């Protein structure tokens, strides 16, 4: 039911840039009805501050006591094609593409300077004309380069030794 002793409280957030609610003191009295029909009254005073809980990385395991277990996050990129291509920007490559259900040309070969590579695209340019071509990664079969490729295997420091051609 309606409790006439209830008064809403307003808090000011961000006072002084500390991220805490301002400290306050106060007194109060109240009456209440408990579950099962019990009733009670009380008085009290209080003061305190509110502190933000610590930030926790997503996916970190937590113990039953609430302690967050730190997790080692890998500091290397995974070996995806776009990452390998990004390590070799500026090199001339030949890109073999397949376009299904295309009656004019099912497969096409593009050659040019690798300018950019993203998760789903490659941008190459023709050095003689300056024309740029955007290729979709979904159509890429494979790529060849006439120069040695820069490549670092994930999780290993430095470059792997170059393989000998015999």
Q: What is the pLDDT of residues 44-91, one digit of tens each?
A: 555 566 677 666 666 677 788 877 777 776 555 567 899 899 999 999
Sign for the pseudo-dihedral over CA of 64, 66, 70, 73: positive
Task: Report the share of the chain in percent with pLDDT over 90.
Answer: 38
Instruction: Provide the whole-model pTM.
Output: 0.50
Q: What is the pLDDT at residue 66?
A: 74
pLDDT at 129 exceeding the cut of 90: yes
Query: Which structural domains are found in the chain, ordered by start?
Result: 15-50 (no CATH), 81-145 (2.30.30.100)
| 3-state per-residue secondary structure call for the chain | CCCCCCCCCCCCCCHHHCCCEEEEEEEEEEEEECHHHCEEEEEEEEEEEECCCCCCCCCCCECCCCCECCCCCCCCCCCCHHHHHHCCCCCEEEEEEECCCCCCCCEEEEEEEEEEECCCEEEEECCCCCCEEEEEHHHEEEEEECCCCCCCCCCCCCCCCCCCCC
Q: What is the pLDDT at residue 2?
A: 60
Q: What is the pLDDT at residue 124?
A: 97
Higher pLDDT, 92 or 37: 92
Q: What is the pLDDT at residue 53?
A: 67
């Amino acid at each position: 039911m309606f409790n006439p002793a209830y008064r809403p409280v307003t808090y000011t957030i961000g006072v002084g840039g500390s991220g805490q609610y301002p400290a306050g003191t106060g007194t109060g009295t109240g009456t209440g009805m408990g579950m099962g029909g019990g009733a009670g009254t009380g008085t009290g005073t209080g003061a305190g501050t509110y502190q933000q809980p610590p930030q926790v990385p997503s996916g970190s395991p937590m113990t039953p006591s609430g302690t967050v277990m730190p997790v080692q996050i890998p500091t290397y990129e995974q070996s995806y094609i776009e990452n390998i291509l990004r390590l070799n920007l500026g090199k001339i490559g030949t890109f073999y593409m397949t376009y299904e259900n295309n009656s004019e040309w099912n497969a096409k070969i593009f050659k040019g300077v690798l300018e950019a590579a993203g998760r789903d695209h490659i941008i190459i340019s023709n050095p003689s004309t300056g024309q740029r071509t955007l290729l979709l990664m979904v159509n890429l079969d494979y790529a060849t380069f006439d120069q040695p490729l820069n490549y670092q295997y994930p999780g290993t420091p430095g470059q792997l030794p170059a393989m000998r051609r015999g």
